[in-house]
Amino acid sequence: MSLALNQIPKSVKTFLFRAILLFAGWKLLYVLWLQPINIPDSQLTALIVSGSTKLLSLFYPAAYYIYHTIFTSAGKGVRVEDHCNGLEVMVLYAGFIIAMPTVKKNIWRKLAYLVGGVVVIFLLNIIRCASLTWIIYNHKDLFVISHKYVFSLLVYGAMAGMWVIYCKDRRYVA
């Protein structure tokens, strides 16, 4: 067993150690402290709903929202639940970037990818929620496959693509 561990490159061991530590730390922080007081879920969901409503207003000029529910002129409401706000995807992306061993002089690159990637995921989630709302109004039969599979594939695919771009240039990764 120890022989097998000795064959694992140091950078891989560092990544795995950081990733496990970050995951455990996040879960403890979130489950024990943040989730019971609904922070940042409620605030993030409100931002997603607001952005989605603004995007939907291109198709439904009278679109509006109340708390976490988006309405159109027809009066139909679509509620965005906290677990659909993209927080876990943002944390997963950020955790990967943080856990990745990086050459110290390139910490600004890591920070740029961290912030930029979270912003991209946030914007994709606004598009996702607005699109799902549009699908509910216009093609209700496509909602389940779109919600569970199509948009999940797109968001996770974008996240994986950003990881690949970040890791591609070996000059920056330790």
Global pTM reads: 0.91
Q: Give a yes or no: residue 3 inside a domain.
A: no
pLDDT above 60: residue 1: no
129 belongs to a structural domain: yes
Q: Before 101, cis peptide (omega within 30)? A: no
Side by side, the strands of the sheet bearing 64-66 are: 64-66, 69-71, 77-79
Whether residue 82 is contained in a domain is answered as: yes
Domain containing 147 equals 9-168
Query: In this structure, how many other beta carbons lie within 10 angstroms of the beta carbon of residue 60?
Result: 19
Give the Cα-Cα-Cα angle 57, 58, 61 (nearest 5 degrees): 45
Q: Over 90: is that where the pLDDT of 6 sits? A: no
pLDDT of residue 173: 62
Whether 96 maps to a domain, the answer reads: yes
Q: What's the total number of domains in the chain?
A: 1
At residue 107 the predicted structure's pLDDT band, cuts being 50, 70 and 90, is: confident
The per-residue pLDDT of the chain, averaged, comes to 92
Q: What is the pLDDT of residues 53-94, one digit of tens each?
A: 999 999 899 999 999 999 987 677 899 999 999 999 999 999
Would you state the pLDDT for residue 172? 59
Answer yes or no: is 162 within a domain. yes
